[in-house]
Amino acid sequence: MPEPIITFDKVNKWYDQFHVLRDIDLAVGYGERIVICGPSGSGKSTLIRCINRLEEHQQGRLAVDGVELSDDVKVIETVRRKVGIVFQQFNLFPHLTVLENLTLAPMWVTAVPQKDAEERAMAQLTRVRIAEQARKYPMQLSGGQQQRVAIARALCLTPKIMLFDEPTSALDPEMIKEVLDVICELADQGMTMICVTHEMGFAKSVADRVIFMDLGQIVEQNSPDQFFSHPQNERTRDFLSKILTH
Amino acid sequence: MNSAGTFAPIAARPAPLSTHGVSGWIRRNLFPSAGSSLATLTIIAAVVYYLPGFIDWAIVNAVVRPDNATCRALDDAGACWGVIAEKYRLILFGRYPFAEQWRPLAATILMLAMVVASCTRPLWSRWLMLAWVVVFVAFFILMRGGVFGLSAVETDRWGGLPLTLLLSTIGIAAAFPIAILVALGRRSHLPALRTICIVYVELIRGVPLISVLFMASFMFPLFMPQGLTINVLVRVLVGITLFAAAYLAEVVRGGLQAIPNGQHEAAASLGLSYWQTQRKIVLPQALRLVVPSIMNSFISTFKDTSLVTIVSLYELTGSVALALSGDANWRPFFLEAYLFIAAIYWIFCFAMSRYSLWVERHLNVGHRRD
């Protein structure tokens, strides 16, 4: 296994009294592509949101690219520059054009001059095949287009790791493919990525490893082949039977 | 013509006409139901009953010349608009020295021009702030004098429209940033800051503006060290500003609450700092949502300035009382004089509310699908 870029070491988290992450141990290698699945409320989203500190863990150690996460604002800033995230609800800024959505962070966080930021943004928009929509506002785009803009926005900060939190769950069925295609291309280009999704076809074709979570724990992890053909745990089999029957 | 396997879309046609002439419009809008018909008829009856009398009073029997004897002979049968022609300079400029009244006139025009300029979108830039500073300085020099050969006029002689404009523009301009900071403070994760902001808002909202003005005017000086005095105009301005800011802060907070958490998360994940997030992401969206309520607060503040009369600052409303109380001949015609300043207030407030509609239309890009 290659050297890890993300390391979870006995990570625990609670929402008030609810124990949402329980003794998470996980090492993600450089360039590794991981799909996390599991029933709702199993802690999948919380787990990936801990990686860029949108959620904080209360016990254990979590290191990203050699930086151990803590309350220190500088540490959080450092980690967030290495990690891009794409949300289920896109979370584009509705008052800014597509192009402004993409140039905002480079210009204000990393002080890139406007012209360079715009060139970089157009390159990323071309990469997600939506360059012609640069001057529009997010609300004028379809869900699939918005999600591709959100991916381009995260890529503009040249992250080392991309997190996807159910990127296709809020999309109409006919738009899922255009978003997954873009994510697949990223995967082919060697980006380290963790994707929470129920798109099992996507998991089979893209993932190096599939992780199944339930009740805040990592129940089982394996290569996609083994995971789908020979699930070890009873809970995994139960889950797969529910989502693969149709 | 859909034959098997091919699809021929039906071409778009214009929508059918929805109006059917004048009678259709009247039926749909004035008499659509029994209740609405009754309301329409009641309003028509009221207009028919009262309007002729009002026209007789306001126009037909009215005296326009500043002729006191004729006015008195009217015996309330008609309006005496002559009182305005007689007293307008006292009403508009209060106790400001009569011979120097070109100065408040110039100051008023300057201020109004600046307000209009600030409302014009092509002029929105950093320079506007600088222009405001220059205008305020020029306003004070014109009004206060004492330099450039202008005779000095103490602030207690200022009055009328320029005073109203000064109190409301400074009150509004200073209250707005304070309100934003207080609204953000009320949502802060720091308990001390949050508590201070809550106490401030609840304390100010719990008392009438009059008591704030009284405190600013009469109580505050008692706590000042001997020999140190702060101009009453400044104290009243601070009072109005703090009062307006408390209400405005709640309006802004309402807007902040409407911003989904995903916006904060997206900004955080991109590495934006707290202030960058507020300035670039949250406030532009939040303020846009509450434009109507913000303008509501501004209009309230504008009209609330009339309360400074009770601490002996004679702005527009106060100067009317001043103009009439000293002159027994014209005192009976207070109604006409108050209608005059009511018209002035109405013009300003109506302009503000129309401007608010314009702002709403021109700022809500991104929330429309077009």
Give residue-wise pLDDT tens across range A63-76.
999 899 998 989 99
Buried b (16+ CB within 10 A) or exposed e, A193-225: bbbbbbbbebbeebbebbbbbbebbbbbbbebe
Measured CA to CA, the distance from residue B330 to residue B66 in angstroms comes to 10
Shared-domain flag, residues B285 and B348: yes
Question: Residue B29 domain-assigned?
Answer: no
Determine the pLDDT at residue B366.
Answer: 52
- What is the least distance, in Å, from the CA of B272 to any CA of chain A? 6
Asked if residue A95 lies in contact with residue B366, where contact means CB atoms within 8 angstroms, the answer is: yes
User: What's B283's domain CATH number?
Assistant: 1.10.3720.10
Residue with more model confidence, A86 or B308: A86
CB pair distance less than 8 Å for A153 and B270: yes
Measured CA to CA, the distance from residue A149 to residue A138 in angstroms comes to 8
Q: Which domain holds residue B234?
A: 165-312+343-367
Asked if residue A182 lies in contact with residue A212, where contact means CB atoms within 8 angstroms, the answer is: no
Contacts of B366 in chain A (CB under 8 A): 94-96, 137-139
- What is the least distance, in Å, from the CA of B257 to any CA of chain A? 16
Asked if residue A212 lies in contact with residue A239, where contact means CB atoms within 8 angstroms, the answer is: yes
- What is the least distance, in Å, from the CA of A76 to any CA of chain B? 9
Contacts of A96 in chain B (CB under 8 A): 366
Q: Is the dihedral of CA A184, A185, A187, A191 positive or negative?
A: negative
Q: Decide if A109 touches B, using CB distance below 8 A.
A: yes
Shared-domain flag, residues B226 and B140: no
CB pair distance less than 8 Å for A108 and B284: no
Residue with more model confidence, A146 or B96: A146
- For residue A94, give the chain B residue with the closest CA: B366
Shared-domain flag, residues B109 and B206: no
Measured CA to CA, the distance from residue A4 to residue B169 in angstroms comes to 60
Q: Decide if A89 touches B, using CB distance below 8 A.
A: yes
Shared-domain flag, residues B252 and B293: yes
Contacts of B189 in chain A (CB under 8 A): none
Determine the pLDDT at residue B369.
Answer: 43
Question: Residue B328 domain-assigned?
Answer: no
Q: Which of B131, B152, B173 is the last residue of a domain?
A: B152
Measured CA to CA, the distance from residue A54 to residue B264 in angstroms comes to 10
Measured CA to CA, the distance from residue B10 to residue A171 in angstroms comes to 28
Strands A59-64 and A4-15: what pairing? antiparallel
Point out the residues of chain B with pLDDT beneath 50: 1, 369-370
Determine the pLDDT at residue B363.
Answer: 77
Kindly give the residue spans of alpha helices, DSSP state H, lying in chain B.
21-30, 34-55, 68-74, 82-93, 102-118, 126-144, 160-186, 191-205, 209-214, 220-223, 232-257, 261-269, 274-276, 283-289, 291-304, 316-325, 334-363
Determine the pLDDT at residue B16.
Answer: 67
Contacts of B288 in chain A (CB under 8 A): 95
- What is the least distance, in Å, from the CA of A234 to any CA of chain B? 35
Shared-domain flag, residues B203 and B308: yes
Q: What letter represents residue A235's amino acid?
A: R
Contacts of B246 (CB under 8 A, 6+ apart): B179, B182, B200, B201, B203, B204, B205
Give the SS3 label for residue B157. Answer: helix
Q: Transcribe A193-245 into DSSP letters.
A: EEEE---HHHHHHH-SEEEEEETTEEEEEE-HHHHHHS--SHHHHHHHHHHH-
Question: Residue B295 domain-assigned?
Answer: yes
Determine the pLDDT at residue B331.
Answer: 78
Angle at B236 between CA B232 and CA B241, to 5 degrees: 150
Shared-domain flag, residues B248 and B193: yes
Measured CA to CA, the distance from residue B84 to residue B66 in angstroms comes to 8
Question: Residue B136 domain-assigned?
Answer: yes
Q: Decide if A94 touches B, using CB distance below 8 A.
A: yes
Measured CA to CA, the distance from residue B179 to residue B252 in angstroms comes to 7
Q: Decide if A197 touches B, using CB distance below 8 A.
A: no
Question: Residue B332 domain-assigned?
Answer: no
Which tokens hold the place of B232? 């009453």
Measured CA to CA, the distance from residue A90 to residue B263 in angstroms comes to 10
Q: What letter represents residue B90's amino acid?
A: L
The predicted model scores a pTM of 0.83
Measured CA to CA, the distance from residue B188 to residue B137 in angstroms comes to 36
- Length of chain A in terms of residues written: 246
Q: Decide if A75 touches B, using CB distance below 8 A.
A: no
Measured CA to CA, the distance from residue B249 to residue A81 in angstroms comes to 34
Determine the pLDDT at residue B21.
Answer: 73
Give residue-wise pLDDT tens across range A16-68.
899 999 999 999 999 999 999 999 889 999 999 999 999 999 999 999 998 99
Shared-domain flag, residues B201 and B232: yes
Question: Residue B172 domain-assigned?
Answer: yes
- For residue B369, give the chain A residue with the closest CA: A140
Determine the pLDDT at residue B370.
Answer: 39
Residue A224: name the closest of A16, A81, A14, A35 by CA. A35
Determine the pLDDT at residue A194.
Answer: 94
- For residue B269, give the chain A residue with the closest CA: A80
Measured CA to CA, the distance from residue A32 to residue A46 in angstroms comes to 20
Give the SS3 label for residue B73. Answer: helix
- What is the least distance, in Å, from the CA of A89 to any CA of chain B? 8
Of A81, A92, A96, the CB nearest to B271: A81
- Token pair 């305005």 is found at B84
Interface predicted TM-score (ipTM) of this complex, two decimals: 0.91
Contacts of A52 in chain B (CB under 8 A): 269
Which tokens hold the place of B275? 């202030």
Q: Decide if B72 touches A, using CB distance below 8 A.
A: no
- For residue B274, give the chain A residue with the closest CA: A73
Contacts of A92 in chain B (CB under 8 A): 266
CB atoms within 10 A of CB B115: 18
Residue B352: name the closest of B283, B280, B282, B303 by CA. B303
Q: What letter does residue B150 receive in the DSSP assignment?
A: P
Asked if residue B240 lies in contact with residue B171, where contact means CB atoms within 8 angstroms, the answer is: yes
- What is the least distance, in Å, from the CA of B95 to any CA of chain A? 49
Order of strands, sheet of A59-64, starting from the edge strand that comes earlier in the sequence: A18-29, A4-15, A59-64, A67-68
What interhelical angle do A143-155 and A114-127 show, nearest 10? 130
CB pair distance less than 8 Å for B276 and A54: no
Of B262, B267, B285, the CB nearest to A95: B285
Q: Decide if B262 touches A, using CB distance below 8 A.
A: yes
Question: Residue B23 domain-assigned?
Answer: no
CB pair distance less than 8 Å for A54 and B266: no
What are B159's strand-pairing partners? B314
Shared-domain flag, residues B122 and B232: no
Give residue-wise pLDDT tens across range B291-325.
889 999 999 999 988 888 888 788 888 888 888 88
Contacts of A138 in chain B (CB under 8 A): 366
Residue with more model confidence, B327 or A204: A204
Determine the pLDDT at residue B17.
Answer: 61
Shared-domain flag, residues B254 and B141: no
Residue A35: name the closest of A197, A181, A192, A143 by CA. A197
Q: Decide if B365 touches A, using CB distance below 8 A.
A: yes
Shared-domain flag, residues B207 and B354: yes
Q: How many domains does chain B have?
A: 2
Q: Decide if B266 touches A, using CB distance below 8 A.
A: yes
Shared-domain flag, residues B145 and B204: no
Q: Decide if B277 touches A, using CB distance below 8 A.
A: no
Question: Residue B240 domain-assigned?
Answer: yes
Q: Is A211 left (phi over 0), alpha (psi -120 to 50) or beta?
A: beta
Shared-domain flag, residues B184 and B289: yes
- What is the least distance, in Å, from the CA of A75 to any CA of chain B? 11
Residue A236: name the closest of A209, A213, A215 by CA. A213
Q: Which of B152, B176, B194 is the last residue of a domain?
A: B152
- What is the least distance, in Å, from the CA of B124 to any CA of chain A? 18
